Amino acid sequence: MIKGKNLKKRFFLKKTTLNNNVIEAVKGINIEIKKGQITGLLGLNGAGKTTSIRMLSGELLPDEGTVFENNSPIEKNLTDFREKVNVISGTERGLFWHLTAYDNLTYFARLYGINKNTYKIRIPNLLKLVGLEKASNQRVETFSKGMKQRLQFARGLINNPDYIFFDEPTIGLDVDIATEMRQVIADLAHNNKKGILLTTHYLKEAAELCDNIYFLRKGEITSKESSAELSTKAKVSEKVLISFNKVVNQDLIKLLKESDGVLDVKKESPLSLSVFGQSNLIKKVIANDRLSDYSVEEMKKEDITLEDFLFTQITK
Ligand SMILES: Nc1ncnc2c1ncn2[C@@H]1O[C@H](COP(=O)(O)OP(=O)(O)O)[C@@H](O)[C@H]1O
Ligand SMILES: [Mg+2]
């Protein structure tokens, strides 16, 4: 198990016209990553997810606090620890575009000092795992976005790590590829017993994949939930985006908020509202005569986002 205890990190920026040149990126978080489980770290952009990963994976020294592996501080044997972990991020960095998939993986295998007999077996296995066996001898520059991301996954597994940090692994991927990648992640935890930390700002992804989820907000962990708790909350409310024929006023918002089955209302644009609650009841409210000043142009069910979750009353 990896345990981060009271981890803090601040960054100093060059002096600017602004007084505040210190960024408190992570403000004393406690987090546990267990083998065989997927732990989620959920937060908006700038919440401190990547900084947390950098500390927990031994890349960045915390200003305060300690990272432990099996109760021993990782700084005692940082080289060993780094061999047991790897980071896979959703960006396309870290691949050599002019090399083939196979040669990329060979390069990283050598970097880890893995012997030839081992990597000759491991690389084809990894390429198979991520569905790139046919593209093995193709240069990365000819790859689609999805293929590059699969190769990133293989690269992150090259040292056969015990712990894998996925930093927004499905960001910008097509739905189908993201689904495939999620299956690989689930498989790594549940069948291969890897300890996984996954950061994401997709609430649905976290609820679907993670055993436990930490909510990170402005460098602080605001709550920890099991995925069961999270999906129950996410299930009790649905979101319906409604566009009206004219500019929405406070009276309409108030009226909707006070209606049965409505938990919260959020203005999305001058003409549209997100209404949270039970969609069948929301539809009834909308059909009500009292809204007759307004007519509904469009109504569609949408997925609840992390922002909705954090900044509305839907879970209260
Ligand atoms: N190397 C750095 N130097 C200065 N500021 C940084 C650095 N890395 C991150 N930050 C700042 O720390 C905060 C948290 O960033 P980050 O950990 O990347 O968040 P997230 O991954 O959740 O988007 C942000 O305000 C970001 O601008
Ligand atoms: Mg990040």
Residue (of 39, 29, 27) closest to 1 by Cα position = 39
Considering only residues 124 and 314, tell me which one the structure prediction assigns the higher pLDDT: 124
Q: Locate CATH 3.30.70.1560 in the chain.
A: 237-311
- Candidates 269, 277, 278; CA nearest to 298 is 269
Q: pLDDT tens-digit profile of 15-64?
A: 666 667 889 999 999 999 999 999 999 998 999 999 999 999 999 999 99
CATH 3.40.50.300 in the chain, residues? 2-233
Strands 163-167 and 85-89: parallel
Tell me the best of 11, 59, 199, 220 to mutate to test the pocket of ligand 1, counting ligand atoms within 8 Å of each CB and taking the most: 11
Counting atoms of ligand 1 from 1, which one is nearest the CA of 12?
Answer: 4
pLDDT exceeds 60 at position 137 = yes
Write the residue with the smallest CA distance to atom 18 of ligand 1: 50
Dihedral, 83, 85, 91, 95 alpha carbons, nearest 10: 20
**pTM of the complete model:** 0.83
Question: Tell me, which fold does domain 237-311 have in CATH?
Answer: Alpha-Beta Plaits (3.30.70)
2-233: CATH number: 3.40.50.300
Ligand nearest to the CA of 46: 1
pLDDT in tens, 293-306: 888 999 999 888 87
Query: What is the residue with the minimal CA distance to atom 6 of ligand 1?
Result: 11
Compute the distance from residue 170 Cα to the ligand 2 centre, in Å.
Answer: 12
Q: What percent of the chain has pLDDT over 90?
A: 62
